[in-house]
Structure 1
Amino acid sequence: MSFPLIDVSKIDSPDDQLAIAKKVTEACQQWGFLLIKGHQIPPSEIEEMFSLGKAFFSLPEEQKSQYPINEDEIGYMGSFKDRGKDDKMSMWFGGLPGAIKNTPGLHPFWYEQAEKVEAFKHKCHSLVVKMLVCFALAMELPDKDFFANAHLENAGKGNSLRMLMYPARGEQPQTGGSRMAQHTDSGSVTLLFQKQAGLEVLSPNGDWIKAPCIEDCILVNLGDALSFWSGTHLKATLHRVTFDGLPHDQERQTMAYFGSAHPDTVLQPIMAGKTMGKYHSNGFDIEPGITVGQLNAMIMKSIYKAPEPAPVPLPAQIFV
């Protein structure tokens, strides 16, 4: 099987949307990953975000580390700070629209850039919603917005953009970690912007392969929430970055946008009369009735030792 590459430039066209939806969904059934081109996020804006990230990561570590991630998932995390002691730096931009500039303790570098980051997040969210509509169409759900309606941009805790830097070093760190430990994502749809290849994906035949890095293409993968919700009609796939695939003396810069449903969304698998077996991921068995927030907290705590979130009142409408 060749790694799927799909042109989505006509995803808004009524005459082409269903055909694109079927191609995208088939790729996500087989691989859980695909490359998309014609995605309508301007290359110049992607490059500007990469340039900002590069400038920030080049600042002294002792300066960046003074502004750690807060409860809204906005802030910095240095290398070796997660449970797996992975060698990657990350700048997180979570929260609802407008939250970045209003965050106490944000690194001063980002205050003047906050509106650009927010605008980029908005474009990413719009693309995620289009992908979610594709899945509903291809699955022949009665409402094409079934998944999309649970992913409102201004609801819940918002979606997250994460700038990542795998630094080049003179020698491999002796921490016992990797560049990024193998895992599946917890949310719905992840958009990965790459400057260099390096991510390894577990292929349908069980082999680890390096995901392609093609100019002006976005690497897309699905998370456990959407996979479970779809009754495993859609696939969440293990992925990783190793020192074999990305040696210690090579730098790699990426950006990942994590599209997630409202944390109070209740996940009841869509099974069409069938029974789904055990869903096991990231060391957990996932059961029907779990909320998106509970699932995310479990996985984030496993990877990052993140604290459990405080309970929040249920909204007037719950998506099932």
Structure 2
Amino acid sequence: MPGTVLPSIPHYVPAPQTNEPLEYANLTVIDLSKADTYEGRVKLAVQLRDAMLAHGFFYVINHGLTQAQNERIFDIADVPFSAVTDEEKKTYAANIKATGSYQGYKLRQYWHIDAGVRDQVEHYNINRDVTKKLHPQALRPLIPEIEAFAKFNHLQVLHPLLRLFALGMELPEDTFVNIHGYDAAGESYVRFMKYYPRSEDEETKTKNVWLKGHTDFGSVTILWSQPVASLQILSPDGKWRYIRHIDNALVVNAGDAMDFLSGGFYKGTIHRVIQPPPDQQGYTRLGAFYFVMPNDDTKLIPFAESPVLQRVGIQRRCEDADAPTMEAWRRGRTSAYGQTDLQKKEKGVEEEIINGVVVKHWN
């Protein structure tokens, strides 16, 4: 991270952890410090593969940042919301539907959730190439730290994990690394995200769901764990279970792009966000993420040469000839999310078609 003399900003105080007796998913913990040797990576790859097949989510610990550095990231994450006026936010709002890009602000009430209720979520997105866009005044002194955070996530967390994903499919270690270049054309980005409390009427109309069940559209999502209990995953037995907070841990899942590239072996993980438990209601929920996508020109077709896929078979979401590039897929998914009239299918499932591929949402 950048040098020792850092710009002074207010300290963000997170919500206290919940004491409610919630049902948590029993997720695997990957100790990334053991990835320094090939033997260590082979063992971790088995853990990661089994975690992906069982839950699709896992924790990462010993990633290289201290608790103090973690807290500094959350201090920075709050700045786009607490230190920028609503008027200035509009100046830096992304033209999401037209461009298929989230770069800049996604302001509140942009997404339709359900029953006429719109979201109370605000986020600010910064491409790993931090020079692509101008940033709000309050964030400008912090850009070197945000850039270092993006680079850390990409090179020190993502690339080691991608080697484990590859080894789990018995592919050469750098198979996925080679299509996730830090300097390549693409839109992997840092997201700072804040959920605000909603009215009782909104909670009733949406059955307390803040974001419907969905899959992410990139390859890997890295979430820096925070204490407000709202994130749930859809377990294989059909039950929604909470993700437990672990101090200074990362919560990692795969998205659509990894699903395409792995021939369905690593499925995009279904997750949602709901109203926090009673003892955390009234708090905002601040998140820090790194959303990962392969290089824009990557065609999203399976690595069919994988010995694992040759044994278990390939589950394609479309024919290889019709497969989108990462750029086409991210633009299509971004433009449509929260804007499309979804078609109700089986109970609790709605669908839309993006680039000729069925995309499901769980409600």
TM-score, with normalisation over the residues of structure 2? 0.74
Deviation digits for residues 239-286 of structure 1, max 9, x if unmatched?
11112658752321111111110111012223444653453xxxxxx4
Flag the structure with higher helix content: 2
1:6 and 1:118 map into 2 onto residues whose CA distance is 25
Q: Conserved in 2, the CA contact under 8 Å of 1:65 and 1:77?
A: no
Cα deviation, residue 163, structure 1? 0.5
Cα deviation, residue 63, structure 1? 3.4
Q: Conserved in 1, the CA contact under 8 Å of 2:70 and 2:248?
A: no
Trace 1:180-219 onto structure 2 (pairs within 5 A).
180-196=211-227, 197-219=229-251
Q: Conserved in 1, the CA contact under 8 Å of 2:186 and 2:295?
A: yes
Letter in 2 for 1:265: T
CA distance 1:124–1:217, change in 2 (3 Å)? same
1:17 and 1:148 map into 2 onto residues whose CA distance is 14
Trace 1:65-76 onto structure 2 (pairs within 5 A).
65-69=90-94, 73-76=102-105
Aligned to 1:316: none
1:169 and 1:12 map into 2 onto residues whose CA distance is 45
Matched, 1:147 2:185: no
TM-score, with normalisation over the residues of structure 1? 0.84
Q: Conserved in 1, the CA contact under 8 Å of 2:230 and 2:276?
A: no
Cα RMSD after superposing both structures? 2.5
Match among 134, 156, 164 for residue 164 of structure 2: 134
1:242 and 1:147 map into 2 onto residues whose CA distance is 33
Aligned to 1:225: 257
Letter in 2 for 1:183: H
Is there any run of 5+ residues in structure 1 with no aligned partner, and where? 280-285, 307-320
Cα deviation, residue 222, structure 1? 0.4
Aligned to 2:6: none
Cα deviation, residue 41, structure 1? 2.7
Is there any run of 5+ residues in structure 2 with no aligned partner, and where? 1-24, 341-363
Match among 184, 191, 196 for residue 162 of structure 1: 191
1:38 and 1:63 map into 2 onto residues whose CA distance is 38
Identity of aligned residues (%): 27
Cα deviation, residue 168, structure 1? 3.4
2:263 and 2:337 map into 1 onto residues whose CA distance is 25
CA distance 1:232–1:169, change in 2 (3 Å)? closer
2:267 and 2:106 map into 1 onto residues whose CA distance is 29
Runs of 4+ in 1 over 6 A off after TM superposition: none
Aligned to 1:318: none
